[in-house]
Chains A and B, each alone.
Chain A
């Protein structure tokens, strides 16, 4: 069985700064694997532990950052057997519908039984790519999956956590499943896994290799701006002596009313 685990490279949030006009400065940011996609990769690896016949392909579409050997090793050290990237300049700014179209073409070329995605990427958090990917491939797709109950050659049964209920669902394969963060705790790769990652096969494609013409967007991102910080009093009392605690308690009492 072939499982594709999709991931996105995003800018490290800790390194993002806000310019004086409210725009974001991403120049000093390193690329990292989006948090929720680590859950998807881990979920694929957990399935492989139960069934050694599984072959895991990590797959990503994006910009030139995907060419970085360190980043490629990073994803492969987390367990996938093989990596497929579709990268070309500009694709780092692709919006969900475009990303889904590219991933669908790549998945079709590679072949698959099951695709795992994160529920959303930690940058745009559009929460659509997995679902749109399923639509583009003409297979079932579902979001919010918090547990994989069973996997057979023809079906996957999952638990899906919604706001106020939990569903058990059966999907016929092939299918796309987007997982939520509570599905697992991604492991930190071992030294051995990191060393082994360099030997795993990598295929780099461009959208031309996929026979994709221009996939125009359905939406346009007009601006990304940090919100105005709400003005706060910022009365900071230093020290945990009786006097300081009493002063803080006084402020608290006034607020409680």
Chain B
């Protein structure tokens, strides 16, 4: 068997559907998509769905995770084995665990690679804070995985393809969770993942006021500003959307310039995708220099303003 007979796809984030469809078409013969509404259903067909199932509009006090029983019923009715593909979002990780338990299926989150070997899915994901990759084989007939972004080619839309979705009847869960309110996050304006150049600030910057010198440099370069976890989470000098690393954001810019960042593995796995890494650190033994193409050993308080001036010239 070179492909799964059935792959189920669900995405809570519309932007992730094209890549999931790319993966599903590569891994499965028959691709079935769970959608929310007509618009997504039409998109799913354009992206190559063989069938779509519509959850309909979701009441404001209900969470998507509470559709686990609805999904399980549909999946089980179709065939006794299948791969279920979801994006690696928090919501879909919660859903994945629920599906796994109810389908007695193995679950792997944050897959960076997904292949079929001897009829079983083998998923690769980061372990030990980015020190290594674990390869895990799912041995159950149903397999559930949440996929990181940037792993598969996105499926291209074909406007000639259409179809109509089957409406799904909501199967109420035994222990529903009530959503009291929901608010969109404010500070999500930055998309570090798309920046070509990133200047990143570590605890070595000393205090919040000093961040202005890093800002001046990044302005002079036309770069976005990122940071290490302690700068965002412990010191709260910058928004948490900006921190790079295994538990923060993973980026692939052309340049990553690290200012006063020690270069621990949990940080570097987020930055290692950069084409060029440059670093300024006063400690010549700082691990960051192991990962750098160009490094400067010295006091950033002196270097950064001088560099900003030099670039303006």
- In the complex, which residues of chain A have a beta carbon less than 8 angstroms from the beta carbon of B13? 163
Tell whether, in the assembled complex, residue A222 and residue B137 are in contact, meaning their CB atoms are under 8 Å apart.
yes
Tell whether, in the assembled complex, residue B139 and residue A220 are in contact, meaning their CB atoms are under 8 Å apart.
yes
Tell whether, in the assembled complex, residue B109 and residue A127 are in contact, meaning their CB atoms are under 8 Å apart.
yes
Interface size of B in residues (CB-CB distance below 8 Å): 86
Question: Which chain B residues in 70-122 approach chain A with CB under 8 Å?
Answer: 89-91, 93-94, 96-98, 100-102, 104-110, 122
Tell whether, in the assembled complex, residue A244 and residue B265 are in contact, meaning their CB atoms are under 8 Å apart.
no
Tell whether, in the assembled complex, residue A237 and residue B310 are in contact, meaning their CB atoms are under 8 Å apart.
no
Of A95, A142, A185, A222, the contact of B94 (CB 8 Å cutoff): A142
Tell whether, in the assembled complex, residue A167 and residue B292 are in contact, meaning their CB atoms are under 8 Å apart.
no
Across the interface, name the chain A residue whose C-beta is closest to B102: A135
CA distance A187 to B247 in the complex (A): 21
CB-CB under 8 A for A240 and B296, given A124-B127, A125-B126, A220-B136: yes
Tell whether, in the assembled complex, residue B289 and residue A236 are in contact, meaning their CB atoms are under 8 Å apart.
yes
Of A22, A128, A217, A224, the contact of B100 (CB 8 Å cutoff): A128
Stretch of A84-92, A207-215, A227-235 at the chain-chain interface: A227-235
Tell whether, in the assembled complex, residue A97 and residue B134 are in contact, meaning their CB atoms are under 8 Å apart.
no
Across the interface, name the chain B residue whose C-beta is closest to A166: B183
> A24 in the interface, Cβ–Cβ < 8 Å?
yes
User: How many residue pairs, one in A and one in B, have C-beta atoms under 8 Å apart?
Assistant: 241
> B212 in the interface, Cβ–Cβ < 8 Å?
no
**Chain A proximity of B158: nearest CB distance (Å):** 29
> A46 in the interface, Cβ–Cβ < 8 Å?
no
- In the complex, which residues of chain B have a beta carbon less than 8 angstroms from the beta carbon of A206? none
> A188 in the interface, Cβ–Cβ < 8 Å?
no
Tell whether, in the assembled complex, residue B98 and residue A131 are in contact, meaning their CB atoms are under 8 Å apart.
yes
**Chain A proximity of B199: nearest CB distance (Å):** 10
Tell whether, in the assembled complex, residue A237 and residue B137 are in contact, meaning their CB atoms are under 8 Å apart.
no
> A195 in the interface, Cβ–Cβ < 8 Å?
no
Across the interface, name the chain A residue whose C-beta is closest to B220: A256
Tell whether, in the assembled complex, residue B97 and residue A162 are in contact, meaning their CB atoms are under 8 Å apart.
no
**Chain B proximity of A154: nearest CB distance (Å):** 13
> A96 in the interface, Cβ–Cβ < 8 Å?
yes
> B131 in the interface, Cβ–Cβ < 8 Å?
yes
Tell whether, in the assembled complex, residue A249 and residue B307 are in contact, meaning their CB atoms are under 8 Å apart.
yes
- In the complex, which residues of chain B have a beta carbon less than 8 angstroms from the beta carbon of A225? 132-133, 135
CA distance A141 to B177 in the complex (A): 9
Tell whether, in the assembled complex, residue B132 and residue A164 are in contact, meaning their CB atoms are under 8 Å apart.
no
> B180 in the interface, Cβ–Cβ < 8 Å?
yes
CA distance A49 to B184 in the complex (A): 31
Tell whether, in the assembled complex, residue A219 and residue B108 are in contact, meaning their CB atoms are under 8 Å apart.
yes
Q: Is the interface of B mostly helix, strand, loop or mixed?
A: mixed
**Chain B proximity of A43: nearest CB distance (Å):** 16
Query: Which among A163, A164, A181, A246 has the highest number of chain B CB atoms within 10 Å?
Result: A163
> A139 in the interface, Cβ–Cβ < 8 Å?
yes
CB-CB under 8 A for A223 and B310, given A97-B100, A255-B276: no
Tell whether, in the assembled complex, residue B180 and residue A170 are in contact, meaning their CB atoms are under 8 Å apart.
yes
- In the complex, which residues of chain A have a beta carbon less than 8 angstroms from the beta carbon of B128? 11, 13, 16, 24, 122-123, 224
Query: Which among B101, B133, B234 has the highest number of chain A CB atoms within 10 Å?
Result: B101
- In the complex, which residues of chain B have a beta carbon less than 8 angstroms from the beta carbon of A234? 289-290, 292-293, 295
**Chain A proximity of B246: nearest CB distance (Å):** 8
**Chain B proximity of A222: nearest CB distance (Å):** 4
Across the interface, name the chain A residue whose C-beta is closest to B182: A167
> B22 in the interface, Cβ–Cβ < 8 Å?
no
- In the complex, which residues of chain B have a beta carbon less than 8 angstroms from the beta carbon of A139? 175
**Chain B proximity of A182: nearest CB distance (Å):** 7
Stretch of B25-33, B34-42, B46-54, B298-306 at the chain-chain interface: B298-306
Tell whether, in the assembled complex, residue A223 and residue B135 are in contact, meaning their CB atoms are under 8 Å apart.
yes
> B257 in the interface, Cβ–Cβ < 8 Å?
yes
Of B97, B122, B222, B246, the contact of A128 (CB 8 Å cutoff): B97
Of B91, B297, B310, the contact of A239 (CB 8 Å cutoff): B297
- In the complex, which residues of chain A have a beta carbon less than 8 angstroms from the beta carbon of B181? 167-168
CA distance A24 to B126 in the complex (A): 13
> B153 in the interface, Cβ–Cβ < 8 Å?
no
> A18 in the interface, Cβ–Cβ < 8 Å?
yes
Tell whether, in the assembled complex, residue B294 and residue A235 are in contact, meaning their CB atoms are under 8 Å apart.
yes
- In the complex, which residues of chain B have a beta carbon less than 8 angstroms from the beta carbon of A53? none
Tell whether, in the assembled complex, residue B132 and residue A232 are in contact, meaning their CB atoms are under 8 Å apart.
no
> B259 in the interface, Cβ–Cβ < 8 Å?
no
> B209 in the interface, Cβ–Cβ < 8 Å?
no
CB-CB under 8 A for A236 and B284, given A135-B102, A142-B65, A218-B139: yes
CA distance A161 to B186 in the complex (A): 12
The proximity string for B residues 210-233 relative to A, scoring 1 for CB distances below 8 Å and 0 otherwise, is 000000000001100000000001
Tell whether, in the assembled complex, residue A218 and residue B185 are in contact, meaning their CB atoms are under 8 Å apart.
no
CA distance A162 to B109 in the complex (A): 16
A–B Cβ pairs within 8 angstroms, 7 of them:
A126-B109, A135-B97, A164-B185, A222-B135, A230-B272, A249-B310, A255-B278
